[in-house]
Structure 1
């Protein structure tokens, strides 16, 4: 084992990434505090039994963590020892006799944090008490502040918050020393912050019933103890418990409340659980009648009254709500709903006043305008000023509304309910954590800038495998100012490197960048493409994706990128020591490999069906490969459930239940022994004069291909030749039982002075012969900016040539977001001014057709009711065209947009002469985000993400 020194960051603006660094060093008594000495002797930890219960819990965690890391037993004491070289003192100001003694004696100044929310001091103090040489003092402003200070030390000594949930091994050490420090935390950025366990039916619920709470048969106090411990270590302070019908309601299970109190975790509930009551599993219509406030108000109010009488002694954040049973809408007309909700709010606040001995304004309450409740709210529903309005996203990561100027003045403030997991229409995504960190940050930054800092709740599904998303969300909630658009994408790689080693950090960053980018284009769960979620156990109706095999090598590129990151994950796994492999499997390996297998199954099956139409001999082989990929998803999921001797048995369910997913459909064809072959030219170009490859341009020097494929059961011999010296073929013939690809390129040094060249390639096989036309165009020396190729100009929006920013408008580059992996925010959502702010792009065309500008926008919502989602487009001096990306929620257009993370708009302009032009994109409604632009000059082909970036001169 090793000796480590713990260096506590002494700056006040703490980082969310690392508050204490562990470094090797030389021990000196004057500069270090010994936690465990070379002889294995541990400092004692002193705390007041009269302190808050969570403080004692955290003290026990620290003692246990010391034991984990060093095998040393840390004595927990409750009175000052007569003599000690070193002592850890932990307690809450005004609640701990020992902390108050230090304050009174002048040894500890607590004025900076006294009376504040969840702050702490960690300070080494010389001669704190008579007979004690040195102390490490952890003082908190309140119970959770103290507990967070203690768990900060736990993390520093090498115990990850994810030691249980992700099997991150402790860092074994023989000695522990903390460098002399005086550290003061600042208040958390968000007052109430935590997670919602949801859609637990296929993961956490069966796992808990099998492994943790067998007598409960599902999620119970043993499971929640692990959940609450994780929250405390991550500096979260609330949990919304699981609430599906399969789960016993939180307050009906003995031990749940007591466990929450033990860890100091506040309980909150989802948008459809008024006053801590779970009507999904608790409301029995045979006993209570119908859940309908129009006809059964007294019975509904009765059960809510009983729940607050039971739970009111606990620390809760109460949802003020009225919806249908579980996640269904209210019954009745809009006018009825308006009146009923207003009446329910009044009744529920009356119940709180009855049972809780506090002014109603001091009882934490939230109102979540989710789904139809937002419509009711926008009709003018009066929500009391002290209630926090929690704005939900649309279940797919796009926040539907935020506080306007008047709402931002409300005493109760506002917050956000955000998803990284969802069950419902138009498509669930319960399996993997694929929400882009850049998207999460962009939306939470918007919310933060508009005052949503009171309450952040993350729908985290089963927690696993959402660890990276949970960590990021809670780190942002703790210290939002430490995050920027520039560094947010580094967070997860930094987190993984802290576990598996800095040597892998660059590789982690690369893998995660591609992983999130590919999933942003299309989540794995959406790759079946044709079905819409309507009920549990519905059959999928898999059809071809929109990723094209014919155009832009789009589908092939996706397959290659997935294969690349899967291979990189394999290499890391092979190098890691055995003790780190389970954690790596859970945190990165399984998500990457499972995504790879699933995408490969869908795309290989699609390729098989496409080949079957062409009669390719490779068709049947692809069918077998698709089946193998399907089975690989099942195999790797089984490995997950068998990790750590079956510890996680049942926690992960691959797609197959919500809805049922069968093998991707494939086709088999009969091959004859009669010699037959075919060819396919890149882009599928065929004209009246024969087959043509896409045009070659010197500006980009891109290659194109010709597939030569066998259509019979016996090997086929083929040849290819060209009489043009400037046309290069990587292969010119061979024998194949399936297919071969000829890569065609241009040797521009042999093209002479002609600007436009034409040639052909002759492909022969048996008695068949094809002529494939080749066109090449030399560089136009007068062109500048983006240049047209094959009828399109494809632009990365962040690569503008000029910008004009007026007022408070700032064009913000966002890396790691969008189809180009780089998006442009058209002004901060906070500011409305900035008339005539725009970015400009120079481009050159050869075509004479009309121009259509295709803009790929994030499917954002207006920031509030007074705004829209407009932006402007202009070519040269033509009239500015105004576009918007705000279809009605739950419409088919909205569904398409959220599944592809893009609202694609087409704006047609009058024909422009060949030559130089300028494109302008104007900021109109603040905060819109554009992530790709294509100017279609008449050559844009069908695909999902569009052509790759055009060359820039």
Structure 2
């Protein structure tokens, strides 16, 4: 059996009956538009005539359709499996060559209609990101396409348009005259194509229920079956901006946003909001905060006073809802900022958590505004009637640094954190702050699909982030791009999103990555060069039809991010070399200028796409934030130096930061420490010109084992001088150590260079990571043994975090031990390391940013050295307050995207085994570094790179 939708330039008609929901009819028109875009033929929409005809598409909603019952009876189809289900649809090819789309409810029917678009290769962003579907001559569905959809995993799934100025606001006023129903029609369509059903509208300067014009926004949302709600501080279907429109000394609502002094005015204000908008489908926000997202009673009020007042307010609001809207209406209380403290109370003050006044209310939880879970429901809490929601962020306007430009949310982290929320029982509402929505299409797709089908993308699928990116690339570009082009898009998306995860563009500074230590600035720049080169190369092969989509989804965010990164990397080098006096500082200043111009040009070109269709959407500031917001943000400082009037050369060992021009009085010595690693036989000495003219130099070296890449040369800017050591020929070792010297000589001085060598590693195990110069580093996935426990096991999370990957124990809701004597029962990872000297070492544990996941809890793990008694390692210091800008440790953690835990350990000379035990939820290890006491770990953005294994 097959159902022909389009063939030979003829299209099947869509059949609907009297009483069809308006929203279903509207979506049918949009799907007909999709068919026309794909095939060039637009299907007609006709009325049901009471009998089944061949080659038609029948669209029905159970409980609102005699047609579906008649078709089911004639075709022998069982519809009972849809009855009582939430948002499900049957997509059935019929015996007579027709197609039946039957929804269990209005949204189910709409999802069924858009399933046609999916099967035709139409992207959810066909309009919002201009993803043109590939043309097809015919559309035919076979029996294998027949299916019944599942109930969505999360009940309410959607996004919050927020922080909408200057980008989204300028765009919508320019194109739609404001936050109107015409604009929201595009937003609603995109949400439904993503199988969402829930929206928080823009609210900085707009009122959803007034700007349609009038109630047209709300009416249209209800027509489409979209459940509306308001943000955490907008109760009773009122919008933040509405209050300023109606308040006043002579207003019936009063002038003060204070329940203590204006109780009757606020009750009337809330009642009128409920009467106006309660006829539509909503989740009604309850509770109260101060004006403009502030404290309700001020800082001097006690916890008890705040809780008591909030109870009174909520009681009155729920009474109003019953009177004005109805019984059992969905209600939501956001436990955001200080309201969370009111919910939990403290040792002396009972909170709202034991109060029956919240029975049936969904409790909206929130991460720390930077995507890190906190205060998830305990097992005892999960029985709360009303369930739990999660307010997540891809965009944030607040301390320590706002992020509102292109996507900086990394799929592996989103997957890790949101699966944790789901596994902890947060399954009623998922809402994500997407800012302007533009440039968040990729992470939003994943967020929505994870919420819709957790069984497919959830915690049982460790490679879900990678699998999803491949799926997303194919969905958006597969109709036009060859496999090699799709692979390129995959790499570009992966690289730029990880780069922005490691440091959000707004937060990046000239010193985020050190200009010389570990060569990390050079490595970042090379990665950026590869990213930009691959993106430019791919752009040249993109079909014309897909150029706008490629620009919007890939090119602009990737190129803009790489350029913003380069700008700060050049600034770091400019500052560093200017202090040295090297002429190349001026070159880096010019490169900063070029990046600034490129940033402006990219924005200008984006705004010109499709005759300015998205003009305004790239206006968000994104470089050089010096405050939490964009006030006083600036491009990097540029320092220009005046070259010396005499010959001058500076030298520096690669990765070091000691430089000298070889003066007689300063007597600085350049030490090349790279050869302390027995595997290293070649390293670099860096030469920098400091004069107006080119300066000749020559090398003086007496050792036959030291081979400079050249013995003479001329430099005026930067030069890399390679130095080789003939390790196999050295005969004058001194207790496995050796030093050699040579000099770089020029007219202005003689630069002494000392080379330090270590011979070999006697007795070092084949898989051990060995110490060089008192330091070593191991990526978390490079354990030698992964011991499962009865309660769970560690798993490697590919591409997680700032460097290679992460390791985490599952089930992720499990606390594997509480007391030190229980540690050995937990899952364990063993790392093998080798050090030359016994003694005290600092073990630096780099873990994913983590907050206590339950109120009053902690985050910890276990550690054992060489089989000794394990220790419980607490990760959270006293006084730590997640989400509080005044907490310096939290602020540093979220900006750096890493938590650093330092543990003092005693190691023996030679082989050592380090055991890491799973502890609480939230512990996710990325890297281990060991530093011998007395040694200094150089500053860097990513830490010491992984050192070598003996056999690698």
Length-normalised TM-score, structure 1:
0.90
Aligned match for 1:495, one of 472, 477, 496: 472
Aligned match for 2:507, one of 526, 536, 539: 526
Aligned match for 1:436, one of 399, 407, 410: 410
**Relative to structure 1, is the Cα distance of residues 741 and 179 closer, same or farther in structure 2, using a 3 angstrom cutoff?**
same
**Residue correspondence of structure 1 range 2-151 to structure 2 within 5 A:** 31-38=1-8, 40-80=9-49, 84-105=53-74, 107-126=76-95, 133-151=96-114
Q: Which residue of 2 aligns with 1:467?
A: 441
Q: Secondary structure at the match of 2:590?
A: helix
Aligned match for 2:283, one of 296, 317, 338: 317
TM-aligned CA deviation for residue 107 of structure 1: 2.6
TM-aligned CA deviation for residue 90 of structure 1: 1.1
Q: Which residue of 2 aligns with 1:895?
A: 891
Residue 913 (str. 1) matches residue 885 (str. 2): no
TM-aligned CA deviation for residue 658 of structure 1: 2.0
Q: Is the 8 A contact 1:802 1:839 kept in 2?
A: yes
Q: Is the 8 A contact 1:881 1:907 kept in 2?
A: no
d(CA) in 2 for partners of 1:704, 1:271: 57
d(CA) in 2 for partners of 1:219, 1:71: 32
Q: Secondary structure at the match of 1:324?
A: coil
**Relative to structure 1, is the Cα distance of residues 353 and 892 closer, same or farther in structure 2, using a 3 angstrom cutoff?**
same
Q: Is the 8 A contact 1:547 1:944 kept in 2?
A: yes
Q: Which residue of 2 aligns with 1:5?
A: none
Q: Which residue of 2 aligns with 1:276?
A: 237
**Residue correspondence of structure 1 range 642-653 to structure 2 within 5 A:** 642-653=608-619
Q: Is the 8 A contact 2:208 2:217 kept in 1?
A: no
Aligned match for 2:581, one of 603, 615, 629: 615
Q: Which residue of 1 aligns with 2:221?
A: 260
Q: Which residue of 2 aligns with 1:173?
A: 136
**Relative to structure 1, is the Cα distance of residues 702 and 486 closer, same or farther in structure 2, using a 3 angstrom cutoff?**
farther
Q: Is the 8 A contact 2:860 2:872 kept in 1?
A: no
Q: Is the 8 A contact 2:673 2:773 kept in 1?
A: yes
Residue 225 (str. 1) matches residue 185 (str. 2): yes
Aligned match for 1:932, one of 906, 916, 927: 927
Aligned match for 2:524, one of 543, 553, 558: 558
**Relative to structure 1, is the Cα distance of residues 293 and 704 closer, same or farther in structure 2, using a 3 angstrom cutoff?**
farther
**Residue correspondence of structure 1 range 450-849 to structure 2 within 5 A:** 450-483=424-457, 484-500=461-477, 501=481, 502-528=483-509, 544-655=510-621, 658-684=630-656, 690-697=669-676, 700-701=679-680, 703-720=682-699, 722-751=701-730, 754=733, 755-784=736-765, 785-833=768-816, 835=822, 836=824, 837=826, 838-849=828-839
Q: Which residue of 2 aligns with 1:241?
A: 201
Q: Which residue of 2 aligns with 1:869?
A: 859
TM-aligned CA deviation for residue 507 of structure 1: 2.3
Q: Which residue of 1 aligns with 2:171?
A: 207
TM-aligned CA deviation for residue 909 of structure 1: 2.6
TM-aligned CA deviation for residue 203 of structure 1: 1.0
TM-aligned CA deviation for residue 411 of structure 1: 1.9
**Relative to structure 1, is the Cα distance of residues 732 and 393 closer, same or farther in structure 2, using a 3 angstrom cutoff?**
farther
d(CA) in 2 for partners of 1:865, 1:364: 25
Q: Which residue of 1 aligns with 2:124?
A: 161
Q: Is the 8 A contact 2:396 2:404 kept in 1?
A: yes
Q: Is the 8 A contact 2:230 2:284 kept in 1?
A: yes
Q: Secondary structure at the match of 1:391?
A: strand
Q: Which residue of 2 aligns with 1:192?
A: 156
Q: Which residue of 2 aligns with 1:922?
A: 917
Residue 855 (str. 1) matches residue 827 (str. 2): no
**Relative to structure 1, is the Cα distance of residues 833 and 848 closer, same or farther in structure 2, using a 3 angstrom cutoff?**
closer
Q: Deviations over 1:830-863 (max 9, x none)?
A: 1234542222111110134520011112222222
TM-aligned CA deviation for residue 883 of structure 1: 2.5
d(CA) in 2 for partners of 1:555, 1:673: 30
**Residue correspondence of structure 1 range 323-334 to structure 2 within 5 A:** 323-331=289-297, 332-334=301-303
TM-aligned CA deviation for residue 668 of structure 1: 1.5
Q: Is the 8 A contact 1:497 1:504 kept in 2?
A: no
Q: Deviations over 1:99-145 (max 9, x none)?
A: 1112333532112221100011111111xxxxxx3211111111100
Q: Is the 8 A contact 2:685 2:720 kept in 1?
A: yes
d(CA) in 1 for partners of 2:724, 2:255: 75
TM-aligned CA deviation for residue 690 of structure 1: 2.5
**Relative to structure 1, is the Cα distance of residues 702 and 342 closer, same or farther in structure 2, using a 3 angstrom cutoff?**
farther
Residue 340 (str. 1) matches residue 298 (str. 2): no
Q: Secondary structure at the match of 1:390?
A: strand
Q: Which residue of 1 aligns with 2:387?
A: 413
TM-aligned CA deviation for residue 45 of structure 1: 0.9
TM-aligned CA deviation for residue 195 of structure 1: 0.4
Q: Which residue of 2 aligns with 1:951?
A: 948
Aligned match for 1:152, one of 115, 137, 152: 115
d(CA) in 2 for partners of 1:761, 1:86: 87
d(CA) in 2 for partners of 1:113, 1:355: 32
Aligned match for 1:882, one of 873, 895, 898: 873
TM-aligned CA deviation for residue 498 of structure 1: 2.8
Q: Is the 8 A contact 1:819 1:932 kept in 2?
A: no
Q: Which residue of 2 aligns with 1:18?
A: none
TM-aligned CA deviation for residue 604 of structure 1: 0.8
**Relative to structure 1, is the Cα distance of residues 98 and 249 closer, same or farther in structure 2, using a 3 angstrom cutoff?**
closer
**Mind listing any 5+ residue stretches in structure 2 that lack a counterpart?**
346-350, 623-628, 660-666
d(CA) in 2 for partners of 1:586, 1:779: 53
TM-aligned CA deviation for residue 563 of structure 1: 1.9
TM-aligned CA deviation for residue 83 of structure 1: 8.5
Q: Which residue of 2 aligns with 1:21?
A: none
Q: Is the 8 A contact 2:407 2:500 kept in 1?
A: no
Aligned length: 892
d(CA) in 2 for partners of 1:807, 1:704: 49
d(CA) in 2 for partners of 1:492, 1:80: 45
> Over aligned residues, Cα RMSD in angstroms?
2.1
d(CA) in 2 for partners of 1:493, 1:750: 51
Length-normalised TM-score, structure 2:
0.90
d(CA) in 2 for partners of 1:783, 1:570: 46
d(CA) in 1 for partners of 2:706, 2:238: 74
TM-aligned CA deviation for residue 764 of structure 1: 2.0
TM-aligned CA deviation for residue 252 of structure 1: 4.9
**Relative to structure 1, is the Cα distance of residues 756 and 582 closer, same or farther in structure 2, using a 3 angstrom cutoff?**
same
Q: Is the 8 A contact 1:446 1:830 kept in 2?
A: yes
Q: Secondary structure at the match of 1:744?
A: strand
d(CA) in 1 for partners of 2:761, 2:386: 62
d(CA) in 2 for partners of 1:222, 1:743: 64
Q: Secondary structure at the match of 2:27?
A: helix
Q: Is the 8 A contact 1:702 1:745 kept in 2?
A: yes
**Mind listing any 5+ residue stretches in structure 1 that lack a counterpart?**
1-30, 127-132, 529-543
**Relative to structure 1, is the Cα distance of residues 878 and 114 closer, same or farther in structure 2, using a 3 angstrom cutoff?**
closer
Q: Deviations over 1:302-345 (max 9, x none)?
A: 11110110111100011112111132122233222111111111
Q: Is the 8 A contact 1:241 1:250 kept in 2?
A: no
Aligned match for 2:267, one of 291, 294, 301: 301
d(CA) in 2 for partners of 1:250, 1:625: 49
d(CA) in 2 for partners of 1:51, 1:771: 87
Q: Is the 8 A contact 2:90 2:102 kept in 1?
A: yes
d(CA) in 1 for partners of 2:794, 2:361: 35
Q: Secondary structure at the match of 1:525?
A: coil
